């Protein structure tokens, strides 16, 4: 039995405004996204090791689309590296993100939380919602992890949409109050989407571990790739 089988595999509201959508990406789209990630990983402005202001390095290797993320801000070029222009954010990825937000909204609307107003999604998004225009792609080898943090460098309040590929991981999701407990842990598997917005948009979250060797064989990936789509 894998770790994932111990956890629910139904769409679920994990915290107010935070929704796990298991198996959201079909295999074909997982392969397409992975192929795109491998292309984006090439220089210029490809995969890199992120240096933190304190001098440490992130164990997750990363690349940006649309705008370059550095600790802590966004820029049009790799300001803390070689200065190259960041690769463009593809429109199709924004469409996937918007569609995952719609599905998450439906889960929230069916749940016990506050009901959205008429004609509005559960996140309050509407025709004026900021478009998805940036993404971070994270590459995890077997020992990589991501500490508890908030995604707080974006100006817009649109939900963050994460897509996972490859090895499964434990995703820890807490509150906006601080990096400690309470939190919930969910297993994210290849193809899962996770949407967090509304009251959870600035919640602390992290990846304490991945499970080596659990990627679907057909995908051809050692390790884990996560793509988080955001609106700047
Ligand atoms: O790898 C993940 O699932 C989370 C990534 C993340 O939190 C981030 O890129 O800010
Ligand atoms: Fe994050």
User: Mapped to the 3 state alphabet, what secondary structure does 16-67 carry?
Assistant: CCEEEECCCCCHHHHHHHHHHHHHHCCCCCCCEEEECCCCCEEEEEEEEECC
pTM summary value: 0.95
Residue nearest atom 3 in ligand 1 by C-alpha distance: 226
Per-residue pLDDT averaged across 87-106, rounded? 97
| pLDDT for position 117 | 52
Per-residue pLDDT averaged across 211-223, rounded? 97
- Tokens found for residue 150: 């908030």
* Ligand 1 atom closest to residue 164's alpha carbon, by position in its atom list: 3
User: 114 CA distance to ligand 1 centroid (A)?
Assistant: 27
User: 146 CA distance to ligand 1 centroid (A)?
Assistant: 7
Which CATH superfamily hosts domain 3-111+120-230? Alpha-ketoglutarate-dependent dioxygenase AlkB-like (2.60.120.590)
Q: Across the chain, how many H-helices and E-strands are there?
A: 2, 14
Residue nearest atom 8 in ligand 1 by C-alpha distance: 228
Identify the residue whose tokens are 């807490």: 174
| pLDDT for position 121 | 73
Q: Which ligand is nearest to the CA of 164?
A: 1
Q: Which ligand is nearest to the CA of 194?
A: 1
| pLDDT for position 1 | 58
Asked if 137 and 34 touch (Cβ cutoff 8 Å), the reply is no
User: 217 CA distance to ligand 1 centroid (A)?
Assistant: 23
Asked if 217 and 152 touch (Cβ cutoff 8 Å), the reply is no
| pLDDT for position 140 | 98
* Distance (Å, whole) CA 232 – CA 25: 24
User: 118 CA distance to ligand 2 centroid (A)?
Assistant: 31
């Amino acid at each position: 039995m894998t770790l994932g089988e111990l956890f629910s595999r139904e769409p679920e509201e994990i915290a107010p405004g935070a929704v796990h959508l298991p198996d959201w990406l079909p295999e074909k789209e997982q392969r397409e996204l992975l192929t795109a990630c491998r292309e984006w990983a090439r220089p210029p402005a490809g995969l890199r090791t992120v240096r933190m202001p304190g001098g440490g390095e992130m164990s997750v290797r990363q690349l940006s689309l649309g705008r370059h993320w550095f600790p802590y801000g966004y820029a049009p070029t790799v300001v803390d590296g070689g200065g190259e222009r960041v690769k463009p954010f593809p429109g199709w990825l924004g469409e996937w993100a918007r569609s995952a937000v719609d599905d998450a909204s439906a889960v929230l609307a069916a749940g016990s939380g506050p009901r959205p107003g008429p004609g509005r999604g559960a996140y309050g998004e509407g025709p004026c919602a900021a478009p998805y225009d940036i993404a971070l792609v994270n590459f995890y080898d077997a020992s990589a992890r991501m500490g508890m943090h908030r995604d707080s460098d974006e100006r817009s309040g649109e939900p963050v949409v994460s897509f996972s590929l490859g090895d499964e991981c434990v995703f820890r999701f807490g509150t906006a109050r601080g990096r400690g407990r309470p939190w919930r842990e969910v297993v994210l598997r290849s193809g899962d989407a996770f949407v967090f917005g509304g009251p959870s948009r600035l919640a602390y979250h992290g990846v304490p571990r991945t499970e080596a060797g659990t990627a679907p064989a057909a995908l051809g990936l050692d390790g884990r790739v996560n793509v988080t789509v955001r609106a700047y």
